[in-house]
Amino acid sequence: MGYIRPLQDYMEFLSKGKLMLLRSRSTGGYVFYPRVAEPRTGATDLEWVEASGRGSIYACTIVRQRPPTPHYNVVLVDLAEGPRMMSTVVEMENEDIRIGMPVQAAIIERDGAPLVVFKPANT
Amino acid sequence: MDDTFPRGRTAIVSNATYGLGEAPGLSSMDLAAHASVAALSRMGLTPADVDGVFIGLPDDYLSGLTLSEYLGIKPRISDNNRTGGSAFQTHVAWAAMALAAGQCDVALIAYGSNQRTASGKLVQSNRPSPYEGPYRQLLPISSYALAASRHMHLYGTTRRQLAEVAVAARGWAKLNPEAFMRDDLTIEDCLAARLVSDPLGLRDCCLVTDGAGAIVMVRADRARDFTPKPAYVLGAASAVTHRDITNMPDLTVTGVAEAAPRAYAQARVKPADIDVVELYDAFSINTILFLEDAGFCPKGEGGRFVENGAIGPGGRLPVNTNGGGLSCVHPGMYGLFTIIEATRQLAGEAGARQVADVNLAFAQGNGGMLSSQAVVILGSEATL
């Protein structure tokens, strides 16, 4: 592809099972969410690189629903590469999620679209 | 370049509120116009005297044009800056500079919203982020809950301390006949209320009301012609740290930590000098974050600072003396109401909730998801 199409490229990669970040060739800085220039430096020499998927929980909330609709969690994850993303933790009770906990990304399908979620990491 | 903010060269000479609580049958602009005319007429002014218009309604992208048309104002200066609920503090900053530079002579800053009777929900002027939307956070509360979770993790802040904020606000509201929620509220009530987005529960959340406010600003040399007790604008500064909560650099440090020191420097005062503190308490965690970032207590100590009724009536620091967004009024964007309460405290107009000997007032606005912060420091004539 000739140029960065932030959301479109990102979603195409996700649909192929890849969580991708942008990285500046000149500064080495990782960028997420995807955009056409690196914040602060304005560097536009960005390329897509696959994320390790490793991260840790930075913040967490449980969204309460009226029963019988199940409650669900919303978290912020600090990725090993530096950027932060919003996500949700699966395969774990909401109440057991801890800030600082190591997690690993997985891509699932929800509502017909790929979605990045995180599972507790095996450490 | 040095900060040459025109300290003390402009003043708020009038204020008014209208339709706080429920005002059925009126549009947001009707409400803003009511408050505007009320604030002007108190000083013997009419809309025709206004030549600077500052407004930002959530449901009208061109509200600066609409208010001018509605009231027949022909503004030389107009500003529709929309940083969310902090917009009105930024309006005061720009109005002060425009007045001092002779770009206008009478500035009107107004706001109104009918969001309670029109929709019953907090009006969202947010575009959904494709990177946050799929996770279905409740906006705006979940974003603030994420910040609260982080503050609790780092500093041991408790839900009981958050409840102290809500109970203190209610204590002030009970002294304010304009306040929407004036019934008893205890710490236990707050802790027993249902959780909405952990760790925030129902009593940690601001009201959803109708309401409007307006203030009038002129240059200081004319201020005493209008009122014996003007609120002189000593400093006004703002900061933007992010838009969506994911991109807030540190969820426990807000832009108030940048804006407040600049405003203090402009005003040549320090936190210990401030007599009343009006903070944008959309959620209980806000008050704790802003008390810390404005220098009223060290970072991380906000929860302990508010314990034992310390910011309620009779406490060590009067905070949100109108009852705040938690108990007085919250019509979508609340920032103008912190300025109005600060002005009233300086003017000695605050009735049963009047704090004694107020010479310096701090009025802060919050916009977005803790994204934009703006601070106005107002002073009595003695501070000039």
Complex confidence, ipTM: 0.97
Cis peptide before B111 (omega within 30 of 0): no
Q: Which CATH superfamily groups domain B138-199+235-383?
A: Thiolase/Chalcone synthase (3.40.47.10)
Q: Where in chain B is the domain with CATH 3.40.47.10?
A: 10-120+209-230, 138-199+235-383
Q: How far is CA B39 from CA B6, B51, B59, B89, B352, in A?
A: 24, 15, 23, 18, 22
Whether A97 and A60 map to the same domain: the answer is yes
Q: A70 and A99 in one domain? A: yes
A63–B134: do the CB atoms touch at under 8 Å? no
- Residue B82, token pair as written in the block: 């929309």
Q: Does B247 sit within 8 Å of A84, measured CB to CB? A: yes
Sign for the pseudo-dihedral over CA of B98, B103, B104, B105: positive
Residues A86 and A28 in one domain: no
CA distance B21 to B181: 9
* B149 neighbourhood in chain A, CB within 8 Å: 59-61, 99
CA nearest B194 in A: which residue? Answer: A64
> Cα(B186)–Cα(A48) distance, rounded to whole angstroms?
53
CA B158 – CA A76 distance, rounded (Å): 20
Query: Cα dihedral angle (B35, B37, B38, B42), rounded to 10 degrees?
Result: 140
Determine the Cα–Cα distance for residues B297 and B174; give it in Å rounded to an integer. Answer: 26
| Closest Cα in chain B, distance from residue A86 (Å) | 6
CATH number of the domain bearing residue A88: 2.40.50
Nearest Cβ partner for B246 among A86, A88, A99:
A86
Say whether both A38 and A70 belong to one domain. no
* Same domain flag for A71 and A105: yes
Could you give the percent of chain A with pLDDT greater than 70? 98
- Shortest Cα distance, chain B CAs vs residue A25, angstroms: 22
Please list every residue in chain B whose beta carbon sits closer than 8 Å to the beta carbon of residue A96. none
Residue A58: closest C-alpha in chain B = B150
pLDDT score at B118? 87
**Which pair of structure tokens corresponds to residue B99?**
């007045």
The domain total for chain A is 2
| Residue A1 counted as domain residue | no
Residues in chain A closer than 8 A to B289 (CB atoms): none
In a domain, A20, yes or no: yes
Three-class DSSP category at B361: strand
The CATH architecture of the domain made up of B10-120+209-230 is 3-Layer(aba) Sandwich (3.40)
Report how many Cβ contacts below 8 Å link chain A to chain B.
69
Is B264 within 8 Å of B272 (Cβ atoms)? Answer: no
Q: Indicate the DSSP class of residue B60.
A: B
Label residues A69-85 b or e (16+ Cβ within 10 Å = b).
eeebbbbbbbbebebbb
Residue type for position B89: Q
Predicted confidence at residue B124, as pLDDT, reads 57
Q: Which residues of chain B have pLDDT under 70?
A: 119-126
Both A34 and A60 in one domain: the answer is: no
Cβ atoms of B206 and B4 within 8 Å: the answer is no
Q: Is A78 within a domain?
A: yes
**A89 plus A101 within the same structural domain:** yes
Domain containing A40 equals 6-50
Q: Give chain B positions within 8 Å (CB) of A105.
A: none
Name the residue in chain A with its Cα closest to that of B201.
Answer: A64
Q: Do A80 and A35 belong to one domain?
A: no
Record the tokens describing residue B378, joined without a space: 């107002």
A113 contacts B130? CB cut-off 8 A? no
In angstroms, the CA A120 to CA A73 distance is 14
Distances B68 to B40, B73, B74, B334 between C-alpha atoms, Å: 14, 5, 6, 22
Confidence at residue B109, expressed as pLDDT on a 0 to 100 scale: 98
A115–chain B Cβ distance below 8 A for any pair: yes
Cross-chain Cβ contact B149/A61 below 8 Å: yes
Place of tokens 């090993």: A80
Please report residues of B whose CB lies closer than 8 A to that of A58: 150, 251
Considering the domain architecture, whether residues A58 and A41 belong to the same structural domain is answered as no
Question: Which A residues in the span 53-112 are in contact with B, Cβ-Cβ below 8 Å?
Answer: 58-64, 72, 74, 76, 84-88, 99-100, 110-111
Q: How far apart are the first and last CA of chain B?
A: 24
Verify that A64 and A82 share a domain, yes or no.
Answer: yes
Together in a domain, A62 and A100? yes
Q: What is the pLDDT of residue B347?
A: 98
Would you say residue A71 lies in a domain?
yes
Q: Cβ of A76 and B251 within 8 Å?
A: yes
Contact A87 B135 (CB under 8 A): yes
Verdict on whether the full-model pTM lies above 0.95: yes
Write out the residues of chain B at the interface with chain A, using a CB-CB cutoff of 8 A: 129-132, 134-138, 142, 145-147, 149-150, 153, 194-200, 245-247, 251
Residues A32 and A62 in one domain: no
